[in-house]
Structure 1
Amino acid sequence: MENHSLLSLTVALLGFLSPCITRLTPRVSFPMGNVNCCDTTGSPGRQLSRFSSHDVSNTTTLLLSEDGNMLYVGARDAVLALDVSHKDAVILRHKTDCPNFIRVLQFLNSTHIYACGTFAFSPRCTYINSKTLTMSLKPDEGRGRCPYDPYQRNSAIIVDGELYTGTVADYRGNRPVISRHLSEGRRVDLKLDDTLGWLEDPTFISSSFIPDEGKIYFFFSEVGREYDFIDKFIVSRVSQICMSDVGGQRTLQRRWTTFAKAQLLCQADNELPYNVIQDIDSLPPTGGAPADDTLFYGIFTSQWSVNSGKSAVCSFRLTDIKSVFSGNYKVLNRDTLQWSTRVQEKVANPGECGLHNASDNALRFVKENFLADESVRPIGRSLTMVSAEHSYSHLTVQRVQAANNRDYTVLFLLTESGYLHKTVLLQSGAHIIEEIQIFDQPQPIKSLKLSIPKGMIYVGTSEGVVRVPAANCSFYWTCPQCVLARDPFCGWDPVSRACVEASNTHTNLGQDIDRGNAEEACSSVSLTHRATFGPNKLPAGELVSVSLNEVVRLQCPAASRLSQQLWERPNTRLSSDLYLHLEDGSLSFVATPTTLGHYLCLSTENGYQQTMVIYHVKQKSSPIAQTPTSRTGHQTHPLPTTQAVARPGPWPGTGLHTSVGTWPKRTEAKEETEPTLSSRDTQATTRQLGRNLTLWTAESRQKEEEFRDGEPLLLARSPCYLKELVVVSVLLVLCLSLLITILLYVIRKRCHSRTAPQAGTPTRNSDRQTPVEQEAFRGNQFLSKCNGQVLHSGQASGLVCNGALTGSNGHLPNTPI
């Protein structure tokens, strides 16, 4: 008990000690375009074939003929025969009604298919003619062969006319079984002994037949009873049975005597394990290699919250699985139902073929000791790849021989969000060559089938069947792009000057899968990937006419999602005070006499640098700017902005292209037609842009929709409003001056009215004045002055002058002289 508690604490601590995961970014991405039934359509640069029908749904069980020309599909209430021999279309040949959801679809022999469906929670099986798709009249019992629930996972495989299945045998799903059916002659149908809990609430994933071993291997996940945790701990398992097993004579009658299971441990050292298996596929050994070199690649997720949303791929070798099954086994205490490991005398070897003739004592031993003590570790005790951004659900694997005659492993991984990732495994790690969007919304059930002879991948979803070519070499138009893709399927042919599929007929192809060195691999090809600024020569480019003080934004398409954009100017450093480098790789600045001129955008990937676009920014030739008709009111105008982008257009075979310097220009009133560049000047640049602009995806598509069809891409050519600004400023100054003058006049007027007597009002003192005083008053009333101001006869003689009240003679008023 203490050991289990310590293990639980260790697992919890490993979640905090897990190292950072390297971000895996697909090099190119192809979003799904508008697709129709049976059309060869899809995203630009990636042509897909899709089959769908309004009366067919849940096409999730796929069976491919040996020659790869016919695809049989198990759907809801129907079985379909699709002709996939044509390159450009998927054609429906036959369709037959079949009970409910089809969950088992296997070739019984060369003429018939064995199919099982849920039949409204009452499973039924039938025989179908593979040529005419006609069914047998009498169905078979489907219990133990097909699940009751259409959304419950199961596994089925037919070998030598016998059906080996992993499913549940009751309505509630509480009786899991691994069984054999359709046995004939001396062989009998077998199933598991369920008295000791050989299976603990399993979820069956897949099954695989190894001919040299004569064994069937089942892969599933279940509750690990050997771990005494508070919560149920899920473990991934591999189990094996021998095809020669016929059950015991007395003990284990009609039960497996060769059943054994072991834990698949997808875990790197000092990291938290990925304990829940999602899918697994086998990779046969190369020609002449033993069967022990068979590899199994599986997708694993984790039930721990610290690894939520992450997926890992682990690979296991058959020889390691066999070694674990031939080792020690755990001992089950039948009283406490607890597992323990102790040294015990081996009465028999569990999992060994031929035990049906063993003694009852030996059979009782293998009945109680079926769980291997050791776990199957991944190759190199490390993860093949791990992704924190994508949750994978299905995979298929293929070995591809490259132009250098070396074999590379290519994984096709299906994400829950609807993308197919094509990934090559290198010594430096996994490299995602491309991602292709298969369907819009996440699907509850999917299946993935690979046709190596035809080079096609088939994806079954609830929306229909999608066919995806494994190779997409024609998308890469230049040798550097073909090499930088690091696709084992593709290589550059210097004779035809095209990226072609690598095969025995094509020799001396330019290819570098391990390093992606475009300079070395394309040494025989003349590369003009870099335009330089000479002292007396400026490169050709897209002409961009702007007005001064406009905000200019020059956009640069990325060669791939792994490339980085770099901007350059002739003999000028792009100062951060004047230029703004945006996250999408574009360059923004204000048009001034200093910032006019040539701009070159470079894309760098894996040490290779190429020119993506060249711009020549010049001032508009017409100096006349429009002025507003009314100067009244207060108006605000947006800051004029000019954007220059590389416009997408049709490329032969891909749906993309970029043209530099040859776009049409719009002519405005009183503005000269801007010159365009000759094709000779832009030929080198155009070939560099070509179809290597592999990232014109949903993001660039949104930017493209901002422009009108058929119009130039120099947007927002607004006139300069400097003249209007000056006029408004002068008017504002004049208004303020007039307002201040009026205010001063009013203040002075009020000051006079407070201190002066009313005009024309005689006083009593004037009547009493002597003749001498009256004469003096009359002599001074015309020219009395105070602080330089003239007072007339109608005004009072007493004034406030320099802060003092005085009379006409300099004395206080009414004071005798």
Structure 2
Amino acid sequence: MVTRRRSRRLRHHLVFVENGRGHCHALLGCGVSIHVSYSGLRPLFHFSVPDVHCTTTLLLSPDASTLYVGARNALLSLDVSRSDVISLKTQVPWSPTETNIQTCRLKGKNEAVDCLNFVHVLQHINSSLLYACGSFAFNPREAYFDSESLSLVHSGDAKGRCPFSPSERSSSVFLDGELFTATTTDFRGIKPQISRFFSQHGRPDVSLDSSISLLEEPTFVGSWSDPSQKKIYFFFSEVGKEFYFVEKLQIPRVAQVCKDDVGGQRTLQKKWTSFAKTPLLCQSSKRLPFNVLQDVFPLQPPEGDDHDDTLFYGVFTSQWSTGAESAVCVFTLREIRAEFSGSYRTFNMQSHQWSPLVEKHSYLGQCGLASSSDSELEEVKKSFLTGSSGVKPSGGAPLVVSSEQRYSRIAAMRTRAADGRRHTVLFLLTESGFLHKVALSDSGPRLIEEIEVCTKPEVVKSLVLSPSKGVLYVGTSRGVASVPVAHCSIHRTCSQCVLARDPLCGWNRIRGACTGLIPGPDGGPEELIQNLDGVNVDQDCGGQTAAKEHREPDPSDVHVVPGEVVTLRCQKPSNQASVSWTAVPSKVLSEKFFAQSTDGSLWFLATADTVGTYRCEAEEGGHREVVSSYQVQQAASPRSTYPLPKDHDEPDEDIVTENPESTSRPGTERGPKIQEGVDTVPPEESKDSGGRTTGQDHRSGAQSVPAPPPCHQPKSYHGELVAVSLLLAACVAATLLGLVYLWSRRGNPRGHGKPGGALEGCSLSSPEDQGPDLKVEL
């Protein structure tokens, strides 16, 4: 019997995408694991170390050659000088003592979950010193490490600089030797604080005034320093007390403090006099707002542009959502500055309610208030919330809205296309381990690619972009994944390259290949063909459609056994393309004999009538192209061959069949399902004369892991057939003995009962009456 697993379908408010799957899992062994997996045809590079988990705090060195990883009870430095290789440089343990663990346990915490050291903060102090802060069994500790050798220089207590709990989020910025942090400062995690430590030039450390609740149950997600105005901005979500009529209403915020703030002389001593906060608005028309901020990414303007044009891309979700939905809104630094320079509200200590200030005070939200009067500082103390509705997104609406994806992290980069225009590319990480590449253009966002970073359940908490190398680093609970921002070589023809409309890819006329543009502000080569807005492929490519003479793909021979379910793969050249199949079987069949999955694959039952030639055609913008071709033939004998290893890239719908004697060929999926955790063979790995897969990787110089042999041999039904035959023979023998016994009873005058009475109430059915035939349904 055949069973089907429902295909994963990705829906976007502007784009509908289906894509292939890859493999991503840590190979545990005696040493470091570095291996290459594939999402679709894109290579992904993975790094993991046995017994090192929660590798979710990442910090890239200024020269982008070293990636520092804060993990559970460990700190790592990885060599990422090459974009296609990750290698371990140094690993140092950083674990709590037995006394710390015992104290944590006595305080009611779980020893296996809470009483470990989870690194929350990694920051560069200078070119030779690294700062780290960890939960350290619910007793935060900080440490200074040599950035080259990771040797410990100094350690000490760090309460108030990172959270006690492993699950709490915090944010920090190191600027000019001073540490600015936003975190909770107590064991229970109910006292939020924004502080400055290691203050320079004889200034005192400062923190928030505790006589009034300036923050209400915040979740900090990011921070950024503004060097031109010497301000630090913190991004978070909190309970909005100004909306007292709604219980636990979440409000996304941005707060500011001045870098050189020293507090007042008598009022607000050693407290921020520059603290202020304002809401961030992210809402689509005719729907509830997205009011929970998940992540924020600052994107600096191109060199020479106004610093006010710095953009902040934020990922938002909704507290009222019953499913997975999210949005991306972008805010400008200019608008944020304008909010803090505008009107404010004041907090009434008696009624605990907010009211707008009648007149504007020019000193609110400003720096340099150390010499202000006590009356002014008293007003500063209770007037820290801006008076307007909040910072509106650029364009007045979200850039991206997804009704079926919950995004958790975001990164953004700019690039210059072949025509000289600048484009922005977003990378959105979902909670389920998928990375969505979205290109922004005048016509709206386009989902260029979906990359499956992790197929196994893993906690994904960090996303670091290296624009100079064109690589994204993803920190998960099991290791670090390196994802190239573009993989242009998967587009084999000019039409495929142009129709992908990827700002990072273009068709090189001279080389006759789809190549990448240099990330960043510099333009690509003039000979590159791109068309990010139109779809007139024939005009753009000028007849140059392939690296060599254009022809249809050679049909792949697929040998089938009658009765098996066959799946023919079809790789779409772009996410916007639609695919269709044409078949020339030996006999014209109805469409009900075939089924097409959401990723374009074709299913059918192998019979004498379904053999023939099958072609998959992709169409986009009026351009049609054959992308896959198969010659399906009936195998001579189902027992004369053994299944070859499956292709690495499984279709979205996995078919599990009881047929043990299926034969596999590239581009097909048949037979028993491969068990999860077993590596499959990448499509370009070489095979020796015996058909065995070698471990050589032709895509890059990265170290790859050869696919292990199948864990299970093809199942044989010989034993079952023998058992059924013996059982059938026994039934026939019993029936014959019964008939002989009845015949003898008929001839016996002393027999009791009527003739044949021994069979009354019992019937034997012939093989033809044993029920309906077993049917295979698609």
Q: Give me the TM-score of the superposition, normalised by structure 1.
A: 0.69
| Structure-to-structure mapping, 1:124-523, within 5 angstroms | 124-137=141-154, 139-305=155-321, 308-341=323-356, 343-374=357-388, 375-444=390-459, 446-503=461-518, 504=523, 506-523=525-542
Counting only pairs closer than 5 Å after superposition, residues 10-89 of structure 1 correspond to structure 2 as: 21-22=13-14, 24-25=16-17, 30-32=22-24, 37-43=33-39, 45-89=41-85
Cα deviation, residue 116, structure 1: 1.0
- For residues 531-680 of structure 1, the aligned pairs below 5 Å read 558-567=572-581, 582-583=596-597, 601-613=616-628, 660=629, 666-667=635-636
- Could you say which residue in structure 2 is the equivalent of 1:101? 118
Look up the match of 2:663.
708
Q: Distance in 1 between matches of 2:35 and 2:666?
A: 31
Higher helix share: 1
- For residues 242-283 of structure 1, the C-alpha deviation after alignment (integer angstroms, 9 at most, x for no partner) is 112111111111000001000001113332100000000000
CA RMSD of aligned residues (A): 4.0
Change in Cα spacing, 1:531 to 1:90, as seen in structure 2 (3 Å) is closer
2: CA distance, partners of 1:122 / 1:553 = 56
1:730 maps to none
**Deviation (angstroms), 1:34:** 8.1
For the residue of structure 1 that corresponds to 2:152, the secondary structure is: coil
| Structure 2 residue runs without a partner (length 5+) | 1-11, 96-116, 639-647, 672-778
Q: Does the 8 Å contact 1:125/1:141 carry over to 2? A: yes
Equivalent residue number for residue 112 of structure 1: 129
Once the two structures are TM-superposed, the CA of residue 531 in structure 1 deviates from its matched residue by 11
Name the residue aligned to 1:639. none
Q: Is contact 1:35-1:41 (8 Å) kept?
A: no
Does 2:140 match 1:123?
yes
Shift of residue 144, structure 1, vs aligned partner: 1.0
| Conserved 8 A contact 1:292-1:319 | yes
Describe the superposition over 1:544-602 as per-residue Cα deviations: whole angstroms up to 9, x where unpaired: 999999999987664455432335589xxx99788766455577899999999876542
How far does residue 346 in structure 1 lie from its aligned partner after superposition?
Answer: 3.2
Contact 1:82 / 1:94 at 8 angstroms: preserved in 2?
Answer: yes
CA contact (8 A) 1:117 1:146 kept: yes
Q: Is the 8 A contact 2:616 2:626 kept in 1?
A: yes
* 1:159 aligned partner, one-letter code: L
Structure 1, unaligned stretches of length 5 or more? Answer: 1-19, 534-538, 614-659, 670-692, 717-817
Tell whether the 8 Å contact from 1:118 to 1:149 is kept in structure 2 after alignment: yes
Distance (Å, rounded) in 2 between the aligned partners of 1:119 and 1:154: 15
Residues 125-159 of structure 1 deviation map (CA, whole Å, 9 limit, x = unaligned)? 1211112211124x232111011011110001100
2: CA distance, partners of 1:469 / 1:131? 26
Offset at residue 345 of structure 1 (A): 2.7
Distance 1:90 1:597 in 2: 46
Counterpart contact for 1:34–1:43, Cα < 8 Å:
no
Tell me the distance in 2 between the aligned counterparts of 1:174 and 1:590: 61
In structure 1, distance between residues paired with 2:653 and 2:24: 9
Correspondence for 1:525: 544
Would the alpha carbon gap of residues 701 and 482 (structure 1) be closer, same or farther in structure 2, given more than 3 Å must change? farther
How many Å separate the matches in 1 of 2:150 and 2:292? 38
| Pair 201,388 (structure 1): closer, same or farther in 2 beyond 3 Å | same
**Contact 1:26 / 1:434 at 8 angstroms: preserved in 2?**
no
Counterpart amino acid of residue 95 in structure 1: Q
**Any idea what the Cα deviations from partners look like across 1:740-796, whole Å, max 9, x if unmatched?**
xxxxxxxxxxxxxxxxxxxxxxxxxxxxxxxxxxxxxxxxxxxxxxxxxxxxxxxxx
Q: Distance in 1 between matches of 2:564 and 2:56?
A: 56
- AA matched with 2:527: N
Q: CA deviation at 1:396?
A: 1.1
Report the counterpart of residue 677 of structure 1 in structure 2.
none
**Superposition deviation, residue 74 in structure 1:** 1.0
| Partners of 1:242 and 1:443 in 2: CA distance | 38
Distance in 1 (alpha carbons) for counterparts of 2:71 and 2:609: 67
How far residue 104 of structure 1 moved from its aligned partner, in angstroms, is 1.1
Letter in 1 for 2:191: R
Name the amino acid aligned to 1:246. Answer: V
Give the number of aligned pairs: 622
1:55 is displaced (CA, Å) by 2.5
CA drift of 1:61 comes to 1.0
- Aligned to 1:520, the other structure's residue is in SS state helix
Is this contact kept in 2: 1:29–1:435, CA < 8 A? Answer: no
1:53-90 Cα shifts (integer Å, max 9, x gaps): 11311111111111111111111121111111134432
d(CA) in 2 for partners of 1:345, 1:448: 44
1:454 is paired with a residue whose SS is coil
* Distance change (3 Å), C-alpha of 1:95 and 1:710: closer
Residues 706/385 of structure 1: CA separation in 2 closer, same or farther (3 Å cut): farther
**Aligned-residue offset at 1:229:** 3.0
C-alpha separation in 1, matches of 2:473 and 2:613 = 49
- C-alpha displacement at 1:513, in angstroms? 2.0
Name the SS of the counterpart of 1:334 in structure 2.
Answer: coil
Note the C-alpha offset of 1:711: 11
Q: Residues 441 and 372 of structure 1: is their aligned pair in 2 closer, same or farther, counting only changes over 3 Å?
A: farther
Which deviates the most, 540-549 or 230-239? 540-549
State the alpha-carbon separation in 2 of the partners of residues 192 and 711 from structure 1. 63
User: Cα distance, 1:451 vs. partner?
Assistant: 1.1
CA shift, 1:415, in A, is 0.8
CA displacement, residues 171-195 of structure 1 (integer Å, 9 cap, x when unaligned)? 1112100000001323211100122
- TM-score by length of structure 2 reads 0.72
Contact 2:20 2:40 in 1 (8 A): no
**Displacement of 1:97 after TM fit?**
2.2
Structure 1 residues 94 and 563: alpha-carbon distance in aligned structure 2, compared to 1, 3 A threshold? same
Q: Deviations along 1:368-426, whole A, 9 cap, x unmatched?
A: 11001121011111111011121111111111111111111111111111111121112
Q: 1:21 and 1:705, CA in 2 relative to 1: closer, same or farther beyond 3 A? A: farther
How has the CA–CA distance of structure 1 residues 436 and 700 changed in structure 2, closer, same or farther, with 3 Å as cutoff?
farther
Whole-Å separation in 2 of the counterparts to 1:461 and 1:591: 42
Against the structure 1 CA distance between its residues 213 and 595, is the aligned structure 2 distance closer, same or farther, given a 3 Å change threshold? same
Asked if 1 retains the 8 angstrom alpha-carbon contact of 2:254 and 2:277, the reply is yes
Q: How many angstroms apart in 1 are the aligned matches of 2:69 and 2:254? A: 28
CA contact 2:276–2:365 (8 Å) conserved in 1: yes
Q: Which has the higher contact order (CA 8 A, sep 6+)?
A: 2
Report which stretch shifted further, 393-402 or 509-518. 509-518
Tell me, yes or no, if the aligned pair for 2:499 and 2:574 is still in contact at 8 Å: no
